[in-house]
């Protein structure tokens, strides 16, 4: 097997460890990283402003939820196609086309006169954004010599996990300062600069447009249908029920579609995705770890706004400000992870990361109803540090030992697993929230009617009001006063259960680590006796 640094003349002019990276390649990579940042950021900035978008377009709450869902569906379909697109168009022109389409779609979203138009441009935005994410990780192993892989991976990884964290505060600030169309218009200037500059900086490569003529259209349809069914099923299951006819049909159809896709792909001369990569232990375990990280990363980014918004009644900007603690910890931990990897080894650092991640998630599982910024600082610090330990080493031992012609496909699948983990994690969280909150609510109501002072204190009600209440059933005014207290207290308890579930997934990731096999380049050399 060729090493990841084995480069074609068209891609690499400085592939040996002794050679220096060209400044223009470094600059090109930074621009690519910023393009990826825009793509990931556009999910979270919108999530903080769905109410304003709903009002601006006169859409229903059900309709406006598709602003996010449409983007995510298009994104997960695009990610595994990145390998094929890179081969056909070259990394250079793939990035230029993707960032150009993303910018055009962003402008289209901003000037949408109706919900259907907005949804159309969000699909285009999601597809082009989905291509940008794995393209960056491919660039790490194709643009840089091996000795610079840790630095480049650190930069790309830090930005990839930072974007979901800062998204709410950016979205909240933009909406409060200007209006919701500016959520999309902020992409115009950087997107245009990236589209114009990167062709001048990235290495020139041959395109293989004939690859499109060999495209297995049936596999493409299967891929799109299976992933779209999975995403829609995961979105609807928490509210409709996992056993509902619609959700069962979507999820079973998705599983059947994926099974057919795998069978067809393994037999194809020109497969739409290189699924044979999963036969390599380091890559397969790396993808498993990426999945577990996605559950915890996107799950925690989803849970904190739920608690701070619905329980603590904070606005989007206040929520984002609180969550910046995680982002700050990630930025501090990124160079620390690169430093420690060369001294303790990739597997040891990964194990430490998932252990810390489970601990940080578990800390939040015991937060009281009144928890706020002060109580949330240290769990966020622990999680922020852990995330970088969980992301950077697995990325390197999953992708770093592969030959260059497999990197694009591998990067797409690796990033797809993290996104699927996030989608499944959020679906499981919503299942807990929708399923358990009513149970806690009924328990609180029964205890309050029985005169339980502890229940009154648990929901934030003055016990004297309960002791001095009039005899008989409560009147409408009392019910209206008590109901939101019960709802917030019930939600706080279910949020804690969701945190505990995320901690269990992180533990599952920790249990995967012993089965991984890090490449020799990532192992700490033993000192001579």
- For residues 445 and 484, give the distance between their C-alpha atoms in angstroms, rounded to a whole number: 12
Who contacts 168 (Cβ-Cβ below 8 Å, separation ≥6)? 44, 45, 47, 48, 305, 316, 319, 320, 323
| Maximum Cα–Cα distance across the chain | 87
The verdict on 199 and 325 lying in the same domain is: no
User: Do the domain assignments include residue 432?
Assistant: yes
Query: What pLDDT is recorded for position 6?
Result: 35
Residues 407 and 503 placed together within one structural domain of the fold: yes
In a domain, 484, yes or no: yes
Mean pLDDT is lowest, of 100-109, 313-322, 385-394, 506-515, for 313-322
pLDDT tens digit string along 337-388? 888 887 888 899 999 999 999 999 999 999 999 999 999 999 999 999 999 9
Tokens of 364: 């939040």
Do residues 414 and 134 touch, judged by C-beta distance below 8 A?
yes
Is 123 part of a structural domain of the chain? Answer: yes
pLDDT digits (tens, 9 = 90+) for 233-281: 998 999 899 999 999 999 999 999 999 999 998 888 778 888 889 988 8
Cα gap 222→248, rounded to integer Å: 18
pLDDT above 90 coverage of the chain, percent = 39
Q: Do 208 and 300 lie in a common domain?
A: no
Residues 134-158: what's their mean pLDDT?
81
Domain assignment present for 24: yes
Both tokens of residue 249?
């049909």
Torsion sign over Cα 85, 91, 97, 101: positive
Same domain, 325 and 459: yes
Q: Yes or no: say if 399 and 136 are a contact pair by the CB < 8 Å rule.
A: no
More confident residue, 138 or 445: 445
> Does residue 410 contact residue 277 with C-beta atoms inside 8 Å?
yes
Helix (H) or strand (E) holding 317: helix 316-344
Whether residue 471 is found in the same domain as residue 497: yes
pLDDT of res. 9: 36
**Average model confidence (pLDDT) for the chain?**
85
- The pLDDT of 156-171, averaged and rounded, is 78
> Count of residues for the chain?
529
Q: Which domain holds residue 297?
A: 292-524
The one-character DSSP state at 307 is I
- Separation in Å, CA 76 to CA 407, 417, 420, 423: 18, 9, 8, 10
**Residue 455 to residue 295: CA distance in whole angstroms:** 33
* Structural domain contains residue 434: yes
The band of 411, judged by pLDDT with boundaries at 50, 70 and 90, is confident
Q: Kindly state the average pLDDT of the residues 416-425.
A: 91
Contact 271/467 with Cβ under 8 angstroms? no
**Which of the residue ranges 3-12, 61-70, 429-438 would you say has the lowest mean pLDDT?**
3-12
Last residue in a domain, options 177, 198, 214: 214
Helix (H, G, I), strand (E, B) or coil at 473: coil
Q: How many CA atoms within 13 Å lie on the side-chain side of 311?
A: 25
Q: Give percent of the chain above pLDDT 70.
A: 93
Of 177, 193, 214, the one marking the end of a domain is 214
In degrees, to the nearest 5, what angle opens at C-alpha 136 toward C-alphas 134 and 140?
A: 115
Q: Is residue 277 part of a domain?
A: no
**CA-CA distance, 500 to 347, in Å (whole number)?**
25
Mention every residue, 6+ apart, whose C-beta is less than 8 A from residue 234.
251, 423, 424, 426, 427
Integer CA distances (angstroms), 226 to 77, 84, 208, 229, in order: 9, 18, 27, 5
- 205 with 344, same domain? no
In a shared domain, residues 206 and 229: no
Q: CA 378, 379, 382, 383: dihedral to nearest 10 degrees? A: -140
| Residue/partner pairs of 186-189 with CB below 8 Å, 24 or more apart | 187/38, 187/42, 187/102, 187/103, 187/106, 188/103, 188/106, 188/107
- Cβ count near 125 (within 10 Å): 30
Lookup: tokens for 92 = 């250079």
236 shares a domain with 184: no
Opening angle at CA 436, ends 431 and 438, nearest 5 = 120
Residues 329, 235 within the same domain: no
Closest CA to 129 of 211, 186, 187, 65: 187
Q: Are residues 208 and 227 in the same domain?
A: no
pLDDT, residue 520, reads 57
In a domain, 147, yes or no: yes
| CATH number of residue 192's parent domain | 1.20.1250.20
How many domains are contained in the chain?
A: 3
201-227 burial, b for 16+ CB within 10 Å, e for fewer?
A: bbbebeeeeeeeeeebeebeebbbbbb
**Domain's final residue, options 166, 190, 214:** 214
* Same-domain status, 420 and 381: yes
The answer to whether residue 276 is domain-embedded is: no
The rounded distance, in Å, linking the Cα atoms of 38 and 103 is: 10
Query: Is residue 297 located within the same domain as residue 261?
Result: no
């Amino acid at each position: 097997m060729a090493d990841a640094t084995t480069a074609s003349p068209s891609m690499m002019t400085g592939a040996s460890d002794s050679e220096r990276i060209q400044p223009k390649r470094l600059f090109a990579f930074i621009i690519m990283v910023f393009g990826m940042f825009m793509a990931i950021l556009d999910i979270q900035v919108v999530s903080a402003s769905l109410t304003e978008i709903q009002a601006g377009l006169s859409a229903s709450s059900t309709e406006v939820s598709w602003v996010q869902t449409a983007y995510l569906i298009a994104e997960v379909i695009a990610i595994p196609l990145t390998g094929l697109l890179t081969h056909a168009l070259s990394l250079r022109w793939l990035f230029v086309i993707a960032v150009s389409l993303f910018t055009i779609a962003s402008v289209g979203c901003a000037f949408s006169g109706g919900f259907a138009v907005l949804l159309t441009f969000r699909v285009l935005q999601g597809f082009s954004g989905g291509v940008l994410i794995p393209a960056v990780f491919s660039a790490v192993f194709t643009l840089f010599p091996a000795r610079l892989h840790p630095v480049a991976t650190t930069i790309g990884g830090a930005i990839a996990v930072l974007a979901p964290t800062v998204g709410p505060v950016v979205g909240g600030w933009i909406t409060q300062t200007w209006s919701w169309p500016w959520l999309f218009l902020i992409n115009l200037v950087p997107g245009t600069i990236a589209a114009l500059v990167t062709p001048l900086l990235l290495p020139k490569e041959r395109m293989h447009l004939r690859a499109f003529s060999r495209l297995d259209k049936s596999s493409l349809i299967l891929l799109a249908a299976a992933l779209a069914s999975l995403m829609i099923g995961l979105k609807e299951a928490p509210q409709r029920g996992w056993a509902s006819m619609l959700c069962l049909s979507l999820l079973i159809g998705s599983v059947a579609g994926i099974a057919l896709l795998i069978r067809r792909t393994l037999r194809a001369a020109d497969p739409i995705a290189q699924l044979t990569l999963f036969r390599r232990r380091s890559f397969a375990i790396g993808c498993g770890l990426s999945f577990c990280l996605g559950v915890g990363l996107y799950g925690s980014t989803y849970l904190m706004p739920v608690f701070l918004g619905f329980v603590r009644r904070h606005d989007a900007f206040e929520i984002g400000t609180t969550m910046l603690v995680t982002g700050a910890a990630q930025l501090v931990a990124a160079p620390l992870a690169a430093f420690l990897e060369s001294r303790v080894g990739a597997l040891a650092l990964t194990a430490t990361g998932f252990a810390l991640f489970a601990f940080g998630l578990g800390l939040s599982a015991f937060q009281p109803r009144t928890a706020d910024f002060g109580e949330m600082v240290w769990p966020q610090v622990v999680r922020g540090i852990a995330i970088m330990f969980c992301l950077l080493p697995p990325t390197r031992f999953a992708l770093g030992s592969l030959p260059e012609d497999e990197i694009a496909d591998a990067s797409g699948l690796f990033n797809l697993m993290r996104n699927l983990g996030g989608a499944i994690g959020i679906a499981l969280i919503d299942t807990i929230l929708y399923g358990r909150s009513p149970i806690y609510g009924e328990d609180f109501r029964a205890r309050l009617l029985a005169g339980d002072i502890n229940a009154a204190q648990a929901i934030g009600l003055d016990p004297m009001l309960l002791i001095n209440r009039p005899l008989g059933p409560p009147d409408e005014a009392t019910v209206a006063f008590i109901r939101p207290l019960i709802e917030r207290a019930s939600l706080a308890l279910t949020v804690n259960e969701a945190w505990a579930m995320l901690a269990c997934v992180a533990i599952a990731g920790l249990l995967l680590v012993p089965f991984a096999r890090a490449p020799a380049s990532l192992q700490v050399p033993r000192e001579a006796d």
